[in-house]
Each structure stands twice: as structure tokens, then as C-alpha cells.
Amino acid sequence: MEEVLLISRFITRSLILLSLCFLCFPPGVVCDTGNVSTSSNSSSKPKVINIGALFTLNSVLGEAAKPAIQAAVDDVNSDPTILNGVQLKLLISDTNCSGFIGTMEALQLMESDVVAAIGPQSSGIAHVISHVVNELHVPLLSFGATDPTLSSMQYPYFLRTTPSDHFQMYAIADIVDYYGWREVIAIFVDDDYGRSGISVLGDALAKKRAKISYKAAFSPGDTESKINDLLVEVNLMESRVYVVHVNPHTGLNIFSVAKALNMMGSGYVWIATDWLPSYLDSKDAVDSNTMNILQGVIALRHYTPDTDLKKSFMSKWNTLKYKGSAGHAGFNSYALYAYDSVWLAAHALDGFLNEGGNLSFSYDPKLHDTNGSMLHLASLRVFNGGEQLLQTLLRMNFTGVSGQIQFDPDKHLVHPAYDVLNIVGTGTRRIGYWSNYSHLSVVPPESLYTKPPNISTGSQHLYSVIWPGDTTSTPRGWVFPNNGQPLRIAVPNRVGYKEFASKDKSPQGVRGYCIDVFEAAISLLPYAVPHTYMLYGDGKRNPSYNELVRRVAQNVYDAAVGDITIVTNRTKIVDFTQPYMESGLVVVAPVKEAKSNPWAFLKPFTAEMWLVTAMFFLFVGAVVWILEHRINSEFRGPPRRQLITICWFSFSTMFFSHRENTVSTLGRMVLIIWLFVVLIINSSYTASLTSILTVQQLTSGIQGIDSLISSTEPIGIQDGSFALNYLVDELNIAQSRIVKLKNPEAYLRALKLGPKKGGVAAIVDELPYVELFLSNTNCLYRIVGPEFTKSGWGFLSLSFMVSGFPKGLPSCS
């Protein structure tokens, strides 16, 4: 009985405690041992889902995005095939182009328990708001924040529904490379959007062996006076290719100031990012003054395929009932991306709900108000299904008005592409396309996706461009800077062979054949080339040409003029022109006159040639005898007589004095052929013998480079010549055999002494030096053997000056 009473009391007390729990905590709240208090909702589908929109209403992008977003929400709510009757409720907040206001608006928007947010269009504001949505697990679908640094790793809940500027900058790099420019000046707004885009452009250009020569940044609120000062500064520089990456509301000021400074004329190149087409497209009619200052500009615009869905949306754009509330908004590509952002959220929410997702929110104890705070942080709740909805968004794949909506592993839209536009007349003209798949082409990108990718140089094409100044000739892309220093041109201070290049007392300080040709080429250019010559070397010995080339590569000198040989290891660090003089290594050796010989008449042919000729005479005589002796009485008789006839007939044909007649047809054919051969032999013999008897014969114990390699005798080379490395590294000649000689006088002394008296057996040097040396030696020395290397001396072309120039310098062409 006592046990029953105890059990009854225990049950009673338990019921009382349970009642107290329900009184203290409403049925919808359950305490968690963690950091989050969870508010659970009904498992049934809600009737209304809140989605937010964060962007600057009074802006070029915002005025186009607002009617598009509102139209998309209406289209989703009226479509029975999606969300199964659940309605989207749109809550719009104006960020006013301010990171601070944008943050406040984002916090207020999150108090409304939105499950996704559309926007913002500003990259700077997106950086700030992304921290908010990351904390609250609310996906942020941005149709206009193109900053490449908005990475998926740092901001996992940030999802870009428009192509990143990463791809746009690579498109510009391809355009720069297509026209052969090597330097650009970047003009950009000094914020996250501008700095990040130009940083990617620098990386993209570096892969094309080009670079940003100067970064001209200005603050978003700078006056025209400051912009004027900035453009005056860049106009004094070398590059004439300008990339303008700014915001639409400040970009036109740059072009108007440039027009006033005469920077929109012939010779200038202006490339604008997508802000310019967005501005022009958003206006129903652009005034003629604006179009006049933009003539010849190249611009990029987001490419969207001309699908039926897009055409249908564009046809009803002017009738959208929301347009009037947003001012005179014109259509641009960002309206398409904003429209598709809403549909992306709708498709993802539909899949989220169909997968059993629950739209519930949780209080985060980390978000609490400090004493006296009016921020109401405690009212912010975490979206419990945020991670699941984010993954659903990333799996979406459908066709929207802007094209295919699908994300790659880096959360970029697949198939980013741009129109390449040329602003001419009263509008724009498309000159081609750029896509991440095929780069530059004149056919729509979607037609290339089914083909293997081809980004080779030969496959890149654009239509002709009308450049600033109303010209179709591609601008050179650079000029000599008005504030620049003259070109620093190094000239080797030679000790020997000063005829090519050496020090002089004239005003220019140098003289020689190379200098004369350089000056003659400079005078043919249609513009002045300020330059100053700088001697390289101490004048006591020939300088090292390899070291001179390295100095040019290190930008100690801008160029080098002289007898600089083009060799492989030098072309790896500097650019060379086409050779202006052929050159190659040859061997020079002493020669002596051959003594006369009574047997000189045998010298035209070698012993082997004499033997073969005699055998052929006898062979032909025997053949003719075989063909004739049966029918020709002159080839008959006793054996001795027939043998004599064979010998006499064959050798008498040498002088065409044979008396025997040939009767058979075959015999006559053999004789005709043989007499032609004899004619050639006689002519060759006569020519060779005449030469031997009339021309002075010189002989040398060295026959060429092969005989030098096989010997152990010393070899002379010119001091400072590349021949040292070639003989040692390529031909494996011991360096101990190499003797460096300073000038032609040293050549003469070394050759006269010979290898036994401390001289050299031969000299290996380049052909131009050897020809000049031999012109004053009275035939005591000559070139033996063939030229065993082929090279040349670098010289001036339309793209560079003389000899070596650092890789990446703009050409003069």
C-alpha cells in the first residue's frame, strides 16, 4: 500500500512540474544545450515566403533592376507550376550607394526573416553585406557585384548571378594581345570594384607578355579638375592604350575631359568595361554630344543569347507597370540578370520545399544588444535551412532570359561571354565576341560550344574597328613620352675593328659602320627618336657582349647598337631585330704558294679519276668491238690486230680522231653517248689545267674546323667574342688551347709566330671581321674550309632600334 502511495505522489509531482514548464516556455520554444535557441515552425508549407532586394534604386543598374525584379516576382507568383501556390513577398531596401547605409538596410531586412536576398549591384556594399548573410545563413544572389575578390571561400553565402570581372579582364587582355600592344594604362575608380578588377587585368596581361605601365586611380567623388590633372599626367606617358574601369555615374566625365584635352583623336585607344554599354543601353536616347566624345571607343557588354525567352521579355519591357516608378529606366543586361536571380531563388525554394526543407529560424545568443543599444540585434534570427537552400541553388540548371543558369565548382556562371563593341556614329557596332571557351571570334559563342575549344592565335578574329580620329588603321599604341628621357643606347667601346663601332670626339661621341646605318634608319622614321649614346667598356680591351646584353635586359640601357651577334642564349632575355649583316664563324690560317711541278698536267684529276677514266675508255672500246666485229671488217683480223684496234679506237676518241667507222645502230648510239662524255671530261680538264698554270696556288696545312678539332695546336679568337663559348661548349675544344687576341695587329703577330713559337695555328672569328682583316694581309692568310655557323648582327627594324631590346618594350611599328 505504501508503495502505491509513493508512486501516486511521484506522478502527481511530475505532472505539476510539467505544467510549470509549459507555463514558463511556450509550446514553440525548446531549450537547447548549445549556443542557439531554436524556434520551430509547422512542417506544412508556408503561404508566403519573404525574399529581400538590396540595391541602390537611383542608379543606372538599380533603375533597370527594380522593374525586372518586380516583374519576376509577379511572374513567379502567377506561375502554377512552381512553388505550388506559395507566394513570394518582395521586400526592397535602398542601399543609397553607401556601405554604412547598406549594412543598416541589410540588418533591417533580415529582421523580416527573409530566406534569400537579391543584390546588391555594388561590389563594395557586397563585401560588407556578405558578412551579415554569412552570419545569418541567408543566400545573397548578386546580379551586379562583379568584384573578383568576392570569393566563394571567404563569402560562402554570396552567389554571383552575373559574370565576374575576372573574365572581363581576360577578355581585355586578349584584345590587347590581338592588336599587338604591349603596354596599357589603367584608369579606374579607387574602390574594391576598381582595384580588384585592375589587379586581375595585370595578371591577365602578364600571361600575354604585356603589362600595365601605369595605374591611374581616382576617388569616386573626384571633381573634373582632379580628373583633368590625372589625364594630363597620363597623356605625358608612353602608352596610348587606356583601359577605363569605373562606375557609370563617373565614367563619362573621364571621356569629356579627355575630349577637351584632345585625347580622343588619332593614335589613341580607349577600352571601356561593361559600365559604358550598360549606361548607353539604359538610356532611351543618348544625346549627340555624349556620342561625339565616345567615337572610336571599344567596350565590352555581357553577351546574352537571343533566345525566344529573352525576346519575349524585351517585348514587354516597355509595358511593365513598375517602370514608371523607377524613372526613365532603359533596358540593359543587368535587368536580365536581376530577373533571372528571382527565378533562380524561386526554383531553388521549390526544390528546397519539395525535398522536405523547413523554413525555420533560430535565435543566436551571440547577437544580443548591449546596454542602451538601439540596434535590436537580438531580433535577428539565423535561417536554419540556409545551408540546404544554398546547396540547392548551386545545383540549379535552367534557361533564363540571360541564358543558361548553372554554376561551376567555383560558383561562377558557366559560359561567361561578352560582346565586343565599337562605338561609332549614333550607336554601337558589334565587332565580335569573347567567351571563356573560344576567346575572340566573330560568331556567337553558343555555336562554338559543340566544337573542340581552339584558342590558338590563328583562330582569334574580330571585324574591323573605326578608331578615334575616324581611322581604320590600327593605332601603334604608344609614342615617345613627352616627359621621358632619351633612349639610352649602349655602344661597345672596342679596341679592335673600330671601323664598326668605337669612341669618337664628335658631338654624338661614337662613330662606325653600325652607327652610320643606325642613324640612316632613324632618319627614315616619321617621328623623332631622342637618344643618347653611352659607351660600354673601358677601352683597354673589348667588352663582354654577353654582359652587355644582360645590362640591356636589366634595363640599365634601353638598347644596344653595334656588332652584336644574334645567338640563342641572348634571344632568351632580349628581343633582336632581323639581321642587318650576315655573320658566321670561319677559320683563318696561313697559306704559302705552291711550287711549280713538271707533272702539273696531271693535277687536274686525282689518281683515282685518271684510273677510272682509263678503264672507261677501254670498256667503251670493248663494247664497240663486240657490237661491230661481226659485221664490220675494220674490227676484224688476227687477235693481236683486234686488241690494238680496241685500244686505238677507245683512246683516239679522246681527241675525236678515231678512223674506224661504226656500222651497227647500237654501236653508233654507244659512240654518240661516249663522245658527249669525252667532251665533258676534256672541258673539265682544260679548265682545271688552265687555272693551275695561270693562277697563284696557295696551300695550308689546316683544311677547316675539323682539322683544328682533331689537332692540339692553339687557336686564336677575338677577345669578347661568343666564339669562346661556342668552341668550348659546343665543339668540346679545351679552353687551354684558346688564345684571346685584342685587335688585327695581334692577329698578325700570332699567325706569323705560329704554334711552335708561341703563336696560333689558326684564328676563329666572325666573317665580317675576317674579311676586313684579310683585306690588308697581302694574301698571306685566307679562309680555309666552309663557314661552320650561321648567324647575323642584329639591327634596326620598324619595331625596334638596333640589336637587343628588353622583351616587352613597345615596338616602333
Per-residue pLDDT reduced to its tens digit, 544-558 = 888 988 888 888 888
pLDDT tens-digit profile of 338-394? 999 999 999 999 999 988 888 888 887 776 655 555 556 667 888 989 899 999 999
Q: How is 125-143 classified by DSSP, letter by letter?
A: HHHHHHHHHHHHT--EEES
In a domain, 593, yes or no: no
Q: State whether 356 and 375 are in the same domain.
A: yes
pLDDT tens-digit profile of 499-544? 998 888 888 899 999 999 888 888 887 667 788 999 998 888 888 8
What is residue 700's predicted lDDT score, i.e. its pLDDT? 60
What is residue 368's predicted lDDT score, i.e. its pLDDT? 62
Average pLDDT over residues 716-739: 89
Q: State whether 526 and 657 are in the same domain.
A: no
Between these two residues, 776 and 215, which has the higher pLDDT value? 215
Q: State whether 321 and 379 are in the same domain.
A: yes
Q: State whether 288 and 312 are in the same domain.
A: no
In a domain, 472, yes or no: no
Percent of the chain with pLDDT over 70: 86
In a domain, 231, yes or no: no
Categorize the per-residue pLDDT at 405 as very low, low, confident or very high, splitting at 50, 70 and 90: very high
pLDDT tens-digit profile of 371-385? 555 556 667 888 989
- Tell me how many domains the chain contains: 6
Cα 578 to its chain centre, rounded Å, is 22
In a domain, 469, yes or no: no
What is residue 326's predicted lDDT score, i.e. its pLDDT? 44
Helix, coil or strand: residue 184: strand
Q: State whether 665 and 616 are in the same domain.
A: yes
Q: State whether 637 and 560 are in the same domain.
A: no
Q: State whether 429 and 452 are in the same domain.
A: yes
What is residue 32's predicted lDDT score, i.e. its pLDDT? 35
Asked whether the beta carbons of 210 and 185 are under 8 A apart, the reply is no
Q: State whether 335 and 400 are in the same domain.
A: yes
The domain of 603 spans 598-695
Categorize the per-residue pLDDT at 132 as very low, low, confident or very high, splitting at 50, 70 and 90: confident
pLDDT-wise least confident of 157-171, 310-324, 592-606: 592-606
Boundary of a domain, candidates 695, 713, 747: 695
In a domain, 482, yes or no: no
Average pLDDT over residues 693-706: 67
What is residue 685's predicted lDDT score, i.e. its pLDDT? 82
Boundary of a domain, candidates 695, 713, 741: 695
Q: State whether 94 and 17 are in the same domain.
A: no
Report which listed range, 190-194, 686-690, 798-802, is most confident.
Answer: 190-194
pLDDT tens-digit profile of 408-438? 999 999 999 999 999 998 889 999 999 999 8
Most distant pair of Cα atoms in the chain: their distance: 166
Q: State whether 435 and 384 are in the same domain.
A: no
Q: State whether 290 and 312 are in the same domain.
A: no
What is residue 378's predicted lDDT score, i.e. its pLDDT? 64
pLDDT tens-digit profile of 56-105? 888 888 888 888 999 999 999 999 999 888 999 999 988 888 778 888 88
In a domain, 17, yes or no: yes
Categorize the per-residue pLDDT at 180 as very low, low, confident or very high, splitting at 50, 70 and 90: very high
Angle of helix 275-282 relative to helix 333-354, nearest 10 degrees? 100
In a domain, 475, yes or no: no
Which regions of 266-374 does DSSP assign to beta strands (E)?
269-272, 298-302, 361-363
**Looking at the whole model, is its pTM more than 0.85?**
no
What is residue 264's predicted lDDT score, i.e. its pLDDT? 93
Residue 38 predicted with pLDDT over 70: no
In a domain, 233, yes or no: no
Q: In angstroms, rounded to a whole number, what is the distance separating the alpha carbons of residues 798 and 556?
A: 23
pLDDT tens-digit profile of 211-234? 999 999 998 888 889 999 999 999
Q: State whether 145 and 179 are in the same domain.
A: no
Categorize the per-residue pLDDT at 249 as very low, low, confident or very high, splitting at 50, 70 and 90: confident
From edge to edge, which strands make up the β-sheet containing 37-39?
Answer: 29-30, 37-39, 361-363, 381-383
Amino acid at 324: G
What is residue 465's predicted lDDT score, i.e. its pLDDT? 95
pLDDT tens-digit profile of 579-633? 888 888 999 888 876 556 677 677 788 888 888 888 888 888 788 888 877 777 7
Average pLDDT over residues 248-277: 92
Mean per-residue pLDDT of the chain: 82
Categorize the per-residue pLDDT at 484 as very low, low, confident or very high, splitting at 50, 70 and 90: low
- Contact residues for 155 (Cβ-Cβ < 8 A; gap 6+): 127, 130, 131, 134, 140
Q: Helices in 111-209 by DSSP H: which ranges?
A: 123-136, 165-178, 192-207
Categorize the per-residue pLDDT at 661 as very low, low, confident or very high, splitting at 50, 70 and 90: confident
Q: In angstroms, rounded to a whole number, what is the distance separating the alpha carbons of residues 682 and 678?
A: 6
Q: In angstroms, rounded to a whole number, what is the distance separating the alpha carbons of residues 412 and 151?
A: 10
What is residue 90's predicted lDDT score, i.e. its pLDDT? 92
Cα radius of gyration rounded to whole Å, the chain:
44
Residue 723 predicted with pLDDT over 80: yes
Residue 681 predicted with pLDDT over 60: yes
Asked whether the beta carbons of 478 and 271 are under 8 A apart, the reply is no
